[in-house]
Amino acid sequence: MPPIALPTTTFASFGTQWIVGSAFTKKQAMDFGKLLDSAVGESLSVMLGNIPIDLPTSAQLLPTRPDAVEVGPVRIVGGVRPQNFDVGYRPDGVRIAFDSKTLNDDASVGKNWQNMINDLATEATTVHSRFPAAVVGFLVCIPVPCLIHNASRASAMIGTLTRLGGRVLVDEPAHRAEALSLVLWDPSTGEIDPTLPPADSPLRIERFHEDLYAAYHSRYQGLPPHAA
């Protein structure tokens, strides 16, 4: 699986919009999230053999065609609740489910980051409780100015997100994800912060594709549609 390509130039363009009010409008936030989803979908498409990318609808319980990556509202009826994910691969049931999460201003981070943690745990649980071999991935993206000034909050968030990732075996806790990254981006440059999370953290975006591929390969190598 190739690394997730987060385009600095496009991030900088969004940053110009963000700087106006130190926040996104609702539409800007949605468009920014779609940028993340597309990057993950494109990487998954390559990993799975350059298969096509389809746009699902929220009413679809099955993909339009089985061997395709879906980028859009991927409807999964899990063990806890029905849930729309942002990217999915469902050739014979759910194999990969991915969601992006963005907190886009200081007030939102302060009020909502713990609720976001609850959402991540519930989403992983709802997939794994019905599809224990499914690979669940999350990408949390926050502007650097919303977190860098509050060391205790940053530490708490990094510690909590780290505990929510790292699921390797199918009998490990259902609330954990196989791949989880925290991306802090600088609106003034579009660059990803190189120091937070620390370089050795499992939350680094540079590790996301490795963790997701390792989990998928260990569970589905040699099985259709990948069997020779």
Dist CA 56 CA 28 (whole Å): 22
User: Residues 51, 27: contact at Cβ < 8 Å?
Assistant: no
Dist CA 78 CA 216 (whole Å): 19
User: Residues 137, 180: contact at Cβ < 8 Å?
Assistant: yes
116-171 per-position pLDDT tens digit: 999 999 999 999 999 999 999 999 999 999 988 889 999 999 999 999 999 999 99
Residues forming beta bridges with residue 102, ordered by sequence position: 141
196: number of Cβ within 10 Å? 19
What residues does each domain of the chain span? Answer: 8-220
- pLDDT score at 148: 84
- pLDDT score at 66: 87
User: Residues 90, 66: contact at Cβ < 8 Å?
Assistant: yes
Phi, psi of 128 (to 5 degrees): -65, -25
- pLDDT score at 228: 66
pLDDT (tens, 9 = 90+) of the chain, 228 residues, equals 999 999 999 999 999 999 999 999 999 999 999 999 999 999 999 999 999 999 999 999 999 998 999 999 999 999 999 999 999 999 999 999 999 999 999 999 999 999 999 999 999 999 999 999 999 999 999 999 998 888 999 999 999 999 999 999 999 999 999 999 999 999 999 999 999 999 999 999 999 999 999 999 999 999 999 986
